[in-house]
Amino acid sequence: MPLTQKIVTRFAPSPTGRLHVGNIRTALHNWMWAQKTGGTFWLRIDDTDAERSREEHVEAIRADLRWLGLAVDGEERQSSRFALYERRFDELVASGRVYPAYETQQELELKRKILLGRGLPPIYDRAALALTDADHARLRAEGVAPHWRFKLDANAPIEWADLIRGPQKFDPATMSDPVVRRADGSWLYLLPSVIDDIDMGITHVVRGEDHVSNTAAQLQMFQALGARPPAFAHEALLTGSEGKLSKRLGSLGAEHFREAGIEPQAIVALLARLGTSLPVEPVADPAPLIETFDFARFGRAPARFDEAELAQINARIVHQLPFTRVAARLPAGMDAAGWNAIRPNVATVAEAADWWAVVEGPVEAVPEAEDVAFLREAAATAAAIDDWSVDPWHNLTGALKASTGRKGKTLFLPLRRALTGRDHGPDMAALLPLIGRERAIERLLA
């Protein structure tokens, strides 16, 4: 590929459901590669399956990408490209690279079982290629519609340099000619994807390693259509925290993460580095992640996705978020000072509401008997502080330390409990001004 060629990537989900974490990772890495190289990132909706595709899923995919910050440069839909598929399909039929076959699923399954029983690979025997014109006419007269297969060139070894897996080699003689079109005329995945990649000028395809055998067949399709194939990068699949492929990963998507209070920046930070030699870091800005993105850093071992790790990253990112980024999601009345005081003690933005309730009250706290007199003195001391806007916490505790001789835990813990109803929480120096003089005195006297 010429170094001057503009990079074009694509994310091509089927709108048969919501995006899950594996889809998100694929979209992210295609977007990051386009961003790093100044290229173009396409969203292609692979909606050739009319029965299973749903418009609400299309809308959800778009919304999820926006939420994650993955802006697309353009969008295509396969359902609007059938005329192009027909033209290229006719070319392949005319050249003999696509041919009709008539076996039923039951007949094909029987053939596979016989081959396996003989210890042979279950490869399609190309019986359809031996049919005569009279056979084709008879079958069609009987109402048997053919499905269509792409004829692999068995004498042309399939090789490519995968950007992650390294040199790859397949022997087409060990592969079945793939079905590219069903008997009802509907399209399977392989051929329309190739036609689209050619037409859209896709230069790089980043996807899971479960597509490696598809790539082997598609490379011959690119050649048969007279096109240079894109570069391929096949990523190791994600595993669950239990260390094996997890069905749960298929249910973890943007909607789940939003409901759990996970920030999109946390998902990007984790999935950008997961499976690479670089450490996962709580980076709120994707720029450094994009700058260091390199296929050479990806390993071939399965990458472990752990929700607990995501939660930890999320908390560290929340601690970085400025008030302007979260203001719309904070409880009524909470200002920048409130957010800055509470921010270090929350793992999600939603938790700020719990601490704001502590600020506004009421709080329930029953003091220890030995602390009742101390807290009454604290209330009087608080009332005597002239300027409540200048560090009332240290003024209060400094005066009480001098008058009572208390220090450390015996000084601070009874005050925190009375003022917040909690043993732990935000820095009291930041929290007390938010509680205010009147509420503080009321709580100390309760």
Q: Which of 63, 21, 11, 17 is nearest to 309 (CA)?
A: 21
**CA–CA dist 152, 177 (Å, integer):** 6
- Count of other CB atoms within 10 angstroms of residue 193: 23
**CA–CA dist 43, 255 (Å, integer):** 19
Q: Please give the torsion angle defined by the CA atoms of residues 379, 385, 390 and 395, in that order, rounded to the nearest 10 degrees.
A: -70
Is residue 36 part of an annotated ligand binding site?
no
Q: What's at 77, amino acid-wise?
A: R
**CA–CA dist 205, 12 (Å, integer):** 10
Helix (H) or strand (E) holding 128: none
Q: Which two tokens stand for residue 91?
A: 């070319």
**CA–CA dist 367, 414 (Å, integer):** 7
Strand partners, 32: none
Q: Which two tokens stand for residue 140?
A: 């069609």
Assign 19 to helix, strand or coil: coil
Strand partners, 298: 276
- Count of other CB atoms within 10 angstroms of residue 419: 27
CB 197 within 8 A of CB 168: no
**CA–CA dist 196, 80 (Å, integer):** 11
DSSP 152-185: --TTS-EEEEETTTEEEEE-GGGSPPPEEE-TTS
Beta strands in 46-91 (DSSP E): 74-77
**CA–CA dist 293, 351 (Å, integer):** 33
Q: Which two tokens stand for residue 251?
A: 């249910």
**CA–CA dist 47, 272 (Å, integer):** 27
The residue with tokens 């998507």 is 253
Q: Which two tokens stand for residue 12?
A: 């091509």
The residue with tokens 């399965």 is 302
Binding residues for ATP: 247
